[in-house]
Amino acid sequence: MSSPAGARRRAGERCVTLADRVDAAAAESIAVRSPPTDEVIAQVPDCSRDDVETIVDRARAAQTTWTEWPVEKRVAVLDRFCDSLLEHRRDLLDLIQLETGKPRHNAVEELLDAVGTCTYYVDTAPKLVESERRSGAFPAITDARVHYEPVGVVGVISPWNYPFNLSLTDAIPALAAGNAVVCKPDERTPFATLFAASLLEAAGAPPGLFAVATGRGETTGPALVDAVDHISFTGGTETGRAVAERAGQNLIDCSLELGGKNPFIVLDDANISAAVRGAVAGAFANAGQLCLAPERIYVHESVYEPFLAELCSATESLSIGFEFGYGPDVGSMIDGDHVDRVDGYVQEAIDDGASCHVGGRRRPDVGPHFYEPTILTGVDPDSRIACEETFGPVVSVTPVKDAATAIDMATNTTYGLNGSVWTTDLGRGRHVATSLDCGTVCINDPYLVGWAALDAPMGGVGDSGLGRRHGPEGLRRYLESRTIATSRIGPFVSPSIVPMGLYARALVGSARLQRRLTRLKRRLSPR
């Protein structure tokens, strides 16, 4: 590993070069700052509506070439791209750290997630885009086939907390399906995505196929939604509502992963030490700036005291700081406004009677945007910190008398993204998991086993979003289905020599026969 100063210098120099890749004539620019120091890294164009339209037009032209390639040729490009991610991993990790302030082990998670997503769709895309034979209207004399075609240009609006993998986890399946992609990263974190675009082009993708439009969300975001054929958004719930409304006005589809207020249920038979390790790893990953992170911990009253004591001890032992290496456990938050928001929620909860056992303080001695991992108890269930997504290194811990109470409290929310259940009885855990109104529930893990199950769909319900990423569903959302039905005997109309009444009775008889055959098939099919 090179020196921290050398890594910072090289990453900063690369950012200046990457900013020149944005194909825009923007009159203004945005200063991107590194959260651990609040120093300016580089300037990126603040794209106007005209800039976005130009970028999308160029992507649409590149998509014409890309979609004509056989899927095997497309995934070969993605396969080479995946290799290049690993080859350039040190540069990517430096960029991710520089623009987010997260610890290096959290940056590695971003890289590995992108590599895993790429590997999965390189393997599965050829099958997922194949035409399918379906049952025709009348057996033997008709058939139906479903063909899948790319929607065109996909817009990806990605957030600042995991900017690299949350750009690529949506872009890779879209590209594998034959689409072009225009990504609008958060204006605070554009550089790792720009680097990915350069690596994809070097791997053989047509120039402009995966483009990046930098700019402020209030201008660049709506312009992108208006110009593309599908929009994939990851971010806050209120912004997601606006994206969905605009997509609906344009009659394009959208997929949205939004906020969460994720429950973490510790049953009376749980392995306490394992549950504590999971709570610390989940709640304080990326300084709690993770949509899947647990924010509400419900613990059976019989194990509440030992769980809380061990959780406080483990949290107090976490190190806080930043370096280009595998050092501190908890890194910087994204900016001062976000620190103000999180601290405001914590102080408000304390004023309302909550107890702060660990943390609850800013750490300006470490850097401008650092905040201590925080554990609260006695939180008012109607307070903001109990009901709204905190998105910081803060958890509340609440005792419950039984699993039913934990389920009731866990589901008392409009969110439904992720949940976790801790128990040594896996059957019991699965039973509790099915009672939680979440898109994903993990047993004996905070979120990773669900997120990393790339063959399974992932997404939220309620205020946590629409649509699914990962699995076949994560690629099929970027395809239009077209049915081609064939009759082997000509048009299904009454022959001129057959009375209409007789023809109608024949059709009814055919329907009855088809129902009998369907029932027989059901009885004979193994269950």
Closest of 470, 468, 436, 438 to residue 454, by C-alpha = 470
Residue pair 273/281 in contact (Cβ under 8 Å)? The answer is no
Closest of 364, 397, 203 to residue 283, by C-alpha = 397
Tokens of 239: 């912004």
Tokens of 128: 């997922």
Residue pair 179/151 in contact (Cβ under 8 Å)? The answer is yes
* Residue 88 DSSP SS3: coil
Q: CA-to-CA distance for 230 and 291, rounded, in angstroms?
A: 23
Q: CA-to-CA distance for 112 and 33, rounded, in angstroms?
A: 25
Looking at the DSSP bridge assignments, the partners of residue 473 are none
Closest of 189, 180, 265, 190 to residue 230, by C-alpha = 180
Q: Which residue has the tokens 């806080």?
A: 320
**From the CB of residue 500, how many other CB atoms can be counted at a distance below 10 Å?**
8
Q: CA-to-CA distance for 479 and 175, rounded, in angstroms?
A: 11
Tokens of 497: 């020599």
Which residue out of 118, 183, 291, 438 is catalytically annotated? 291
Task: Let me know if 79 is exposed, middle or buried by CB neighbors in 10 A (0-12, 13-18, 19+).
Answer: middle
Looking at the DSSP bridge assignments, the partners of residue 479 are 150
291 is an active site residue: yes
Q: CA-to-CA distance for 386 and 389, rounded, in angstroms?
A: 8
Instruction: Give the torsion sign (CA, 379, 382, 387, 390).
Output: negative
Q: Under 8 Å CB-to-CB from 113, ≥6 apart: which residues?
A: 165, 169, 451, 452
How long, in residues, is the chain? Answer: 527
Looking at the DSSP bridge assignments, the partners of residue 145 are 133, 484
Which residue out of 99, 110, 187, 257 is catalytically annotated? 257
User: Which run of H or of E encompasses 123?
Assistant: helix 104-128
- CA dihedral (251, 256, 260, 266) in degrees, to 10, reads 120
User: Which run of H or of E encompasses 476?
Assistant: helix 471-476
How do strand 440-443 and strand 418-422 relate by DSSP bridges? parallel
What is each CA distance from 37 to 98, 103, 330, 391, 478, in whole angstroms? 10, 14, 15, 21, 39
Tokens of 355: 């107890």
Active site residues: 257, 291
